[in-house]
Every structure is written in structure tokens, then in C-alpha cells.
Amino acid sequence: MKTKKIKKANKKEYFVVANSFAAPFFSDTAEEYTKGVDPEDAMQGFVRFYGHPCGLYSVALYKSADPFHKSQKPLCKWLCNLELEKQRLTKGKGSYSFLHSADKVGHFIEIDHERHYIPDPGKGCIVPARGN
């Protein structure tokens, strides 16, 4: 019986810009290259192996560094649950007050003095890239 050789997919190189959660006062930014079969595969691999002690807040993935430096939109983004919830709660608001806090109970955000609990703030998902 012949066995078929499974051809490994050619991985492409992509450029990512990642931001950690505040460490402790502001995010650390990483700009580096990652590989994947497609943008989503590259993003999933980057997120899986990201190792900042404060955790991952957001990532934007580009075809190369040129689109990033030319302020073009990314191929895809990854956002943590905290940012996703903040965007959901502030959609359509022209302006708002914002506060993020964490205690023994968990992570909270306040939007216009209304407190919201954020379950698993460090987890997240890939979201469609919107225009800048």
C-alpha cells in the first residue's frame, strides 16, 4: 500500500504590531514578523506564543512592515475581551469617561460612571479589520 506524502503548506511571512496590557502604566509594543498559511493562521500562532507577563491586549497583522508604516489598514486584528467589551459599550457615543480597574473579584471597566464586569479580559478573538 502506498502512502501519500502530505505536502506541507508554504507559510508566508507577515508583520505584526502587538500591545500588551498596561505594564504597569502603559502598554509595551512589539513589532515583529510571524509566519502562517494565511493571515488568520499567522495571527493564531502569534497569539498562542505571545509571552508578555501582563498579557496580550491587541494585535494588528499586515502583509509586511510597509503597509503599517504607510498607515494602511491591517489584514486582520486580534482584540482582548476587555477591548471588545469597551467597543461594544461605547458604540455610537461621541465621547465618554473610561476607567479600567482590577481587584480580587476581577476586571471592571467604567463607562460614564457605570461599572461593567469583564470575564476573562485577557482572552480574545480575531476581528475584521476596519478602515482607519
pLDDT tens digits along 72-103: 999 999 999 999 999 999 999 999 999 888 77
* Nearest Cα residue to 53 out of 35, 89, 28, 31: 28
Distances (CA, A) of 38 to 76, 77, 86: 11, 13, 28
Instruction: Look over the chain and give the mean of its residue pLDDT values, rounded to a whole number.
Output: 89
Instruction: Check residue 51 and give its pLDDT.
Output: 92
Amino acid 132: pLDDT: 47
What are the structural domain ranges in the chain?
Answer: 12-127
Contact residues for 122 (Cβ-Cβ < 8 A; gap 6+): 21, 55, 56, 80, 81, 82
Predicted pLDDT at 65: 97
Residue with cell 476573562: 120
Pick out the chain residues at pLDDT < 70. Answer: 1-8, 23-24, 104-105, 130-132
